[in-house]
Chain A
Amino acid sequence: MLKAEIQKIKQQSLEEIRASQSEKELCAIQVKYLGRKGKLTEILKSLKDMAADERKIVGSLANAAKNEISQLIAEQKKGLSEQVNWEKERIDVTLPGKKAETGSLHPITLVYREIEQIFSSMGFEIVEGPELETDWYNFTSLNFPFDHPARDMQDTFWIKSAKKDLVLRTHTSPVQVRYMEKRKPPFRIIVPGRVFRNEATDAKHEHTLHQFEALMVGDNVNVGHFKHIASQFFSAFFGKKVEIRLRPSFFPFTEPSFEFDISCAVCSGKGCPTCKSAGWLEIGGAGMVNQNVFVAAGYPRNKYQGFAWGFGIERLAMMKYKIDDIRWFESGDLRFIEQF
C-alpha cells in the first residue's frame, strides 16, 4: 500500500519537474515533495513508527525516490539556468552589414588575366616589352618603309630626343622582333601591353590603350592554325562557340593580312544593337608574318612560317562588361572601378 503510494509520488513529482518552466516553479515542486511538510518527507517521517521489516523495505524505497527526485531537480535546475531569452536576443537582420575592406581590381587587369589564362593553357608564353620604343622596333623592323602612307595608319607620339628616334609604341608588335632576336622557333607567345595613338579622345577613342598580341612561329604554321587558335580563344573567352571571319587587309608586317571578325557574342550572329545588326564584330588585325620581319629579327628568309594577331583589350572589356564609354578606363574614378 505504502509502496504504491511512494511509487505514485515519485511518478507525479518527476512529471512535474520535467514540465517545470522556471526555477521558481521548480522550487515549489521541491517544497511540495521534499520540503519539511512535503509528501515524501511525510512518509520518511512515518518510518520510525513502522515495524523493522517494513521500515527496511519502505525506507529504502522512499530514500531511493528522494534521491531520484533531488537529482532530477538538480538537472532541471541546471537546464533552466542555461536557458536563453530568445526574444530579448532578437535583432533586425535587415540592418546593413559592417563594411568590409576589400578593393577592386581594374577591369583591364581582369580581362588580361582571363586572356592570359586561356593562352597559357594552350602553351603560350607571356612576354612583355618597353612602352618607349625606337623607330626601328616600332616601324622599320616591322617592314614599315620610311615616309610610307602605312605609317599614317598609326598616329604616333614622337619623343623629343637628340639621340634616337623614339616613339611611344603604337602597337605591341615591336615585341615580336625583340623576342625573335633572342629565341629560335618553334614558339608561341602572347604580348600584353599598353600602347599609344595620337588621336583625340571621345566615347569610342582613346590615346592610351591596352593591346594583346599573339605570335606563333614554326616550320609550317598556316592560316588554318590561326583560325583554330582564334576560335578556341574566343569560344573560351565568351563561354560559347564563336565563329571567326577573316577579311583581306594590309599590314606591313604580315602577308597575307586579315581583319578578323567574330560572330557577335551577344546575339550569336543573329543581329543585335551591339553588332549593329551585322552579326559580326570587328575585333582586330592578323596575318602571316612577313618574311622581312623574320629577316629583321635575324632569321634566314623563307625558313619559317608564322602568324601574328593583335586586338584591343578595351574593346573586349567594353563588350564583356557592357561599358559604353572608353574614357572610364583611365578615369581613376572609383565609382567605375568599384563595380568590378
Chain B
Amino acid sequence: MKYSYLWLEELSKTKKTPAQLAELLTMRAFEFEDMRTEGKETQMEFSILPNRGHDALSHIGLAREICACEGRKSLPTFNVSRLPTLNAGNPKIDIKEKKLCLRYIGAVLENIKVSASPKWIQERLLVCGIKPINNIVDITNYVMLECGQPLHTFDAKKIYHIPYTIYQILIRKAKKGEKIKLLDEKTYELNDNDLVIADSEKPIALAGVMGGFDSGVTKKTTSIVLESANFNSTSIRKTRMRHNIATESSYRFERQIDPNLAEMGMARAIELIQEICGKSARVVALADVYPKKVNPWKIKLNINYANSLLGEKIPVAKMKNILESLGLNIKTAKNILDCEIPTFRIDLKTREDLIEEIGRIYGYENIKEQPLCAETKTPPQNEKRDFENKLRDILAGLGFSEVMNYSFYSADDIAKCNLKVEDHIEVANPLSLDQQYLRWSLAPNLLKNVALNLKNFSDVKIFEIGNKFQNIKGETKEATVLVGAIAHKSSKESLFFELKGKIEELLTKIGYKNTKYQILDTKHNIWHQTRVAEIKISGKEIGRIGEVSPQVLRKYGIKQPVALFGIRISELLEKIGYPEEKSYHSVSKFPVVERDISMFIRGNTKFNEIKAKINEAGGNLLKNIELFDSFEKDGQKSLALRLKIGSDAKTLTSAEIDAVMKKVISKLEKDLKVKVRK
C-alpha cells in the first residue's frame, strides 16, 4: 500500500525521516518497497503481509506499528464523535446471510451538496494513489485510507423503497442469473453464491466489492445512504475471483476486517461529510445491525516458552512493554503473560503469534547465533540421489552434457511424436498452449534441444534426468527417468552402435551385469521401426535404445539421424535394485593368445547367436570375443572376430589352442551354416 508520510507523521508523531522509517519498518514490520518525494510530502510504499491486511492497510494501523517499533507506548488515535442515536428501524436493514455479513451500519444523510472535495483531501488521496472524484466518494476513500474500513454510498433517491419514509436494505445472496451494472459500467451476471446489497426490488451493489452504477452518487445527488459494513472474507474473495474485479474494498475485506471498525469508519465519515458537504447536511436515519459482537480474547503466554522458541533471554518486563505498545492489555503473573488481544489484531490467535510480535519488535538481529547441541550421527544416505549422481558423472565422462527441460509440452508435441493424449496429465491453467500437458516422456523436449544444438555444434550428446508423468486411466503416476540422445551434424550413418557402446559402458561402469539388448519390433511412437532394442538387466526390461523415426525427426526439422535411449530409473531400482558392490577376480598368470576368425554368415543370423555358439564351443578357455570388422558384399554378410584363448591353470600349447579353434569353427559351420574363411 502507498502511504502519505505527512499523514503517518501526524498520527504517530514520529521524528524520523522517510528513509529512517523505511529502514525501521523493514526490519521490524513490513518491507519497504519504494518512495517518491515532492516538496514536504513523501509517498511511501510498503508491502503489507497478507495476515496483516486487516489492521495495517491503513494509516492509523501503520502509525501504530511505527510507535511500537520506536518503543513508544502512546497509541495513535484521532477523536471521533460517537454515532448519533436515532430511531432504530430506519433504514430497515435485513441481513439474510448472517455468516457472510457480520455487521451492517446504514445511515441516511440529507441536504448533501456534491462537489469537488477540499484540496487537503485531494492531495492525500493522490499521494496514496487514489484519484479524487467528488467530496462524497473522496471522503469514503479518505476514511478507508485512514482507518482501514471500506465504505460505500448510494444515492438515496435511487433506492426503491416503500413506504417512502423507511429505507429497506437487504443483504442477501444473488439470485441465479440476476444482473447488475456496476460502477465500472460493465454488466455482470451474478452467481447464487455472490452476496449483494439490495433494495426491495433489485441488487444495488456487489457487497464489499463494488457499488451499482444506477444507485451511484452523482453531481445531482442530495441525499445518500452511507454503508459501513463487515463481510466474510472468503465470500468476498470468491466473488472477486469469479468476476475478476479487484477493488481497494475487496482487497481489504478479503483480508478480513474487525467488525468493530465499522463503527469508527461510519462516525468518521459522518463527521467529515458534515464538515465538508454542506452546512445543513445531517443524519436523518441510522441503523446498526451487529448480531454477534466480537469481543477481545485472551491468550496466556509462558515467557519460558517464548524465550525457548526465540533462543533468547528476554525479561518479562520487556515482553510486556512490547505487547502493550502494540495495543494489547497485559497482566503478568510469575512467568505468565495474560494477554487481552484488541479486536483489530485478528491475526493474533496463538502463543506463537505473540512470540513473533515479541521477537520482531525486540529485533531479530539481537538474537544470538546458537551452535547446536545435537547428537552427532551420520545421516542415512539418499541412495537414489547418489545413484543418479553416479549416472551423471559417468555420462559426463562419456561425453554427454546434462540439460534440464520444462516438465511441460504441447498437444502439438504429442502429435509430432505419435504419443497419446489420453496418457497425458493436463494442466488446468497452463501459461500457454506450449505448456498444456505434463511430459509423459522426456524425449520430445530433448529432440528440441538436439535441433537447437545442431545449429551450433557438430556433435551433440545430451542427457536429462527428470520426472515424467503418466495418466493411467485417471490415476496419476510420477517416475524418474534418464533419457539421452546423440547426433552429428555431418553424419548420415546409423548412430545406434555408437550410442549402444556408450550405454554398455554406462551400465557396466555403474555395476550392472547381465545386461542384454533385445530387438524390439515396434511401431511405437517415436522410434525407428527396425532400429530399436529393449535394454534388459537380469531379464527385466528397464529401458530402450534406438534411433528416432526419421518421420518424427523431420517434424522437428532435424535432417541427421538421432539415436536415443531411455532408462526408467524408478522402475530399475524397484525391480532390480542398486548394482551389487564390484568384486575382484584374480588376473591369470598365464598368457592369453589372440586368434582371428572371419566368416560369411546367413542374412538372418544374429551376432548374439554366433557369440553364444563360440562360447559354448570354447568353454572356459575362451576368454573374450571381440568384433573387429563387418561388411556386406554381394548380399553376403561378413564378420571378423578376434578370440582370446587362455587357461587360468597353465600356458596352453599351440596344439591345444588349435583344438579350441577347430571346435569353434566346426560348431559355427554345423549349427549356423557359417562359412569360415580360411
User: Which residues from chain B contact A103 at a C-beta distance below 8 Å?
Assistant: 395-402, 461-463
User: Which residues from chain A contact B237 at a C-beta distance below 8 Å?
Assistant: 147-149
Which residues of B367-426 have CB atoms within 8 Å of chain A's CB atoms? 367-372, 374-382, 384-385, 389, 392-393, 395-407, 425-426
User: Which residues from chain B contact A212 at a C-beta distance below 8 Å?
Assistant: none
Flag if B407 contacts A153 (CB, 8 Å): no
User: Which residues from chain B contact A288 at a C-beta distance below 8 Å?
Assistant: 309, 352
Flag if B371 contacts A150 (CB, 8 Å): no
Does A130 touch B at the CB level, under 8 Å?
A: yes
Flag if A332 contacts B365 (CB, 8 Å): no
Does A228 touch B at the CB level, under 8 Å?
A: yes
Query: Interface on chain A toward B: helix, strand, loop, or mixed SS?
Result: mixed
Among A161, A249, A255, chain B packs the most CB atoms within 10 A around the CB of A255
Distance of A125 from chain B, by nearest CB (Å)? 4
Provided the pairs A152-B50, A222-B308, A223-B367 are in contact, do residues A127 and B430 lie with their beta carbons within 8 angstroms?
no
27 contacting pairs across A/B (C-beta < 8 A): A102-B397, A103-B397, A104-B402, A106-B403, A124-B379, A125-B379, A149-B255, A158-B429, A160-B426, A161-B425, A161-B476, A166-B476, A194-B466, A196-B407, A222-B308, A222-B309, A223-B364, A227-B367, A247-B27, A249-B49, A255-B356, A256-B356, A257-B356, A288-B352, A332-B452, A333-B449, A334-B460
Flag if B380 contacts A125 (CB, 8 Å): yes
Provided the pairs A109-B392, A223-B311 are in contact, do residues A123 and B403 lie with their beta carbons within 8 angstroms?
no
Does A72 touch B at the CB level, under 8 Å?
A: no
Flag if B428 contacts A160 (CB, 8 Å): yes
Does A319 touch B at the CB level, under 8 Å?
A: no
Does B595 touch A at the CB level, under 8 Å?
A: no
Does A274 touch B at the CB level, under 8 Å?
A: no
- How many chain A residues have a CB neighbour from B under 8 Å? 80
Question: Residues 343-368 of chain B: 1 if any A CB is under 8 Å from the residue's CB, otherwise 0?
Answer: 00000001011011001100011011
A152 to B355, CA, bound (A): 26
Flag if A225 contacts B372 (CB, 8 Å): yes
Flag if A333 contacts B429 (CB, 8 Å): no
Distance of A307 from chain B, by nearest CB (Å)? 10
User: Which residues from chain B contact A224 at a C-beta distance below 8 Å?
Assistant: 310-312, 367-370
Provided the pairs A131-B467, A207-B431 are in contact, do residues A150 and B367 lie with their beta carbons within 8 angstroms?
no
Distance of B235 from chain A, by nearest CB (Å)? 9
Provided the pairs A126-B385, A200-B431 are in contact, do residues A147 and B234 lie with their beta carbons within 8 angstroms?
yes
Provided the pairs A103-B461, A132-B478, A305-B309 are in contact, do residues A228 and B429 lie with their beta carbons within 8 angstroms?
no
- A residues neighboring B (CB under 8 Å): 101-106, 108-109, 113, 116, 120, 123-128, 130-132, 146-150, 152-153, 157-163, 166, 168, 186, 188, 192, 194, 196, 198-200, 207-208, 218, 220, 222-225, 227-229, 231, 244-250, 255-259, 288, 290-291, 305, 329-330, 332-335, 337-338
Chain A minimum-CB-distance residue to B375: A186
Flag if B396 contacts A104 (CB, 8 Å): yes
A199 to B428, CA, bound (A): 14
Flag if B429 contacts A198 (CB, 8 Å): yes
A333 to B399, CA, bound (A): 16
A123 to B377, CA, bound (A): 7
Flag if B364 contacts A246 (CB, 8 Å): yes
Flag if B407 contacts A228 (CB, 8 Å): no
A202 to B603, CA, bound (A): 57
